[in-house]
Structure 1
Amino acid sequence: MSVLSKIVETVRHRVRKQREKVPVEEMKIEPVERKSLTEKIETNPNTSIIGELKRTSPSSGVIREDFQLPELARSIAEGGAVGISVLTEPVYFDGKIEYLREVSNSVEIPVLRKDFIVEKYQLYQTAASHADSVLLIAEILDEELPEFVALTKELDMEPLVEVRNKEQAELAEDAEAELIGINNRDLKSMEIDLSRTERIINSIPEGLVTVSESGIENRHDVERVTQAGADAVLVGIAIMESTDVKRKVLSLTGDPHG
């Protein structure tokens, strides 16, 4: 069984328990003013960086011991990031759903929930946690993707649909996704290949906003994927490993002060 299959199985089991405890009908989804990640990317004069908050990962182990969420979120925002991705998966990434509201209360930029969304219940959960956007993985959802994209929009959030090949990119387009993430990491082998962005991006129609994800370590990597056509870059480990998070984000955006 691949790492992805194990994670999905674990998530399904957890979501079933959560749904039994708090059904959708009992969930309070407050009307909040959501921020558009797409708009931030399209209007940003510098390179658009989405900084990711994650403590651990299956491929890297513990990434950051000192995980002070509000402080890290503010440093990422002050570094010029257009958004913040928050890992909420608890077993493999040591995340918490509560992190979303904590980060939303700390910064003015859009907050993206990054998790393994397998049930629609999680979308209601995400909306109730004040997130602005949510990651949907085409490889997991497959033919269910259009329903998940539609419900995400119905709940006033933006779906970032993650793909890793041309077939999944077509699936995302057919699902009417407007924000497409290209994952440079193979979710089954966990290997990283930045050329994945270069190979897939030409199959994504003009007008859609593209984000290159995973394996970006420095400004050189950022320039490589943006020159290929990526509109934004999502960076996690390189930021989390930095002793000066704000300066690291500034350097990735190409800001001369970084």
Structure 2
Amino acid sequence: MMKNVLEKLVMNSRKAIDEGCYNITKTLPKSKIDLKKSIRDNKHASLITEIKFSSPAEGKIKKYSDPVQIAKSMMSGGTKALSILTQPYLFDGSPDYFIKIRKNVKIPLLMKDIIIDKIQIDAAKKMGADYFLLIQALFDKGFVDDIDELIRYGHRNGLKILLEAHTKTEFENALKTRADIVGINNRNLNTLEINLDTTRNLLHNYRRRWRSKKMPFEPVYGKMIVSESGIKSTNDIDFLHNCGADAFLIGTSIMKSSDIQKTVSELVNAI
């Protein structure tokens, strides 16, 4: 088991920044599709499928192959957006294949990385990202300062933010920010263990409280909720949907599939 996972992830991002990983020269246009609207209007399960070849928890997930072809297979299966790893260390991610995908697809893209600096947000904008990820735990534990400033900076640059939480405290703090979407990570980043009940436990009281007021869509402080990590089957989708999740971010189980398009389609039709 890797110790001090969060600390290691932050160190890796600093290393990647120092090495010029995020020095992007050309600027690409982002998608014209409103992700939140497409999720809101979708009658089936709304998936954000993730392209990653390795992870701290799984090690090597898939032998490297054409990321553009993977992206197109996911789109053919019905995904609403793509999450693309740009962190080179532990994830085998790359801004280069984010750029390749952006040049070939029109749907919204999420820059999935350990964002600790405005330099990475600048890179997200230049690569044509629609969203970038922030992790609430990094701010709550003091690894990174001033989450509100990074969110404001993203918004000023035309980007939206998916802010990820795992614990009750992180979730409550995330809801108070101006992040556009809140993600519930079913994986504990300290132990790397997964429990889908994380989504149920965090949403139970909030969904019940706000729905009792007959609020319209997005009853939790105006936030759309995405459940992340550990989602493998249509039963998982059904369970998390019933817990109150609006969308589902799925990476490893799809990347391991021998038929990505079919797997995505089956998960989309879980609802």
TM normalised by structure 2 equals: 0.86
Alpha-carbon offset, residue 183 of structure 1: 0.2
Alpha-carbon offset, residue 69 of structure 1: 0.7
In structure 1, the partner of 2:245 is 230
Structure 1: distance between partners of 2:29 and 2:53: 30
In structure 2, the partner of 1:140 is 138
SS at 1:92 equivalent: coil
2:257 corresponds, among 231, 242, 250, to 242
Query: 1:112-191 alignment to 2 at 5 Å?
Result: 112-142=110-140, 144-191=146-193
Q: Is the 8 A contact 1:213 1:234 kept in 2?
A: yes
Structure 1: distance between partners of 2:117 and 2:69: 31
Structure 2: distance between partners of 1:32 and 1:94: 23
Moved more, 147-156 or 204-213: 204-213
Query: 1:36-185 alignment to 2 at 5 Å?
Result: 36-142=34-140, 144-185=146-187
Moved more, 190-199 or 200-209: 200-209
SS at 1:108 equivalent: coil
SS at 1:18 equivalent: coil
Q: Is the 8 A contact 1:146 1:174 kept in 2?
A: no
Moved more, 219-228 or 197-206: 197-206
Number of corresponding residues:
252
**Residue 153 to residue 244, structure 1, CA distance change in 2 (3 Å):** same
Q: Is the 8 A contact 2:238 2:270 kept in 1?
A: no
Moved more, 64-73 or 188-197: 64-73
Structure 1: distance between partners of 2:202 and 2:63: 35
**Residue 31 to residue 238, structure 1, CA distance change in 2 (3 Å):** closer
Structure 2: distance between partners of 1:60 and 1:27: 33
Q: Is the 8 A contact 2:164 2:185 kept in 1?
A: yes
SS at 1:118 equivalent: coil
TM normalised by structure 1 equals: 0.91
Q: Is the 8 A contact 2:131 2:160 kept in 1?
A: yes
SS at 1:51 equivalent: strand
**Residue 112 to residue 33, structure 1, CA distance change in 2 (3 Å):** closer
Q: Is the 8 A contact 1:137 1:162 kept in 2?
A: yes
Alpha-carbon offset, residue 166 of structure 1: 2.1
Q: Is the 8 A contact 2:234 2:267 kept in 1?
A: yes
Moved more, 96-105 or 127-136: 96-105
Alpha-carbon offset, residue 32 of structure 1: 4.8
In structure 1, the partner of 2:225 is 210
SS at 1:162 equivalent: strand
In structure 2, the partner of 1:221 is 236
Is residue 202 of structure 2 the alignment partner of residue 196 of structure 1? no
Structure 2: distance between partners of 1:94 and 1:220: 30
SS at 2:84 equivalent: strand
Q: Is the 8 A contact 1:185 1:193 kept in 2?
A: yes
Q: More helix by proportion, 1 or 2?
A: 1
Alpha-carbon offset, residue 16 of structure 1: 3.2
In structure 1, the partner of 2:216 is none
Alpha-carbon offset, residue 150 of structure 1: 1.2
Alpha-carbon offset, residue 141 of structure 1: 2.8
Alpha-carbon offset, residue 180 of structure 1: 0.5
Q: Deviations over 1:99-155 (max 9, x none)?
A: 222111222211101000011111011101111111111111346211111111111
Runs (4+) of structure 1 exceeding 4 A deviation are: 26-34
The root-mean-square deviation of aligned C-alpha atoms, in Å, is 2.1
Percentage identity across paired residues of the two chains? 33
SS at 1:89 equivalent: coil
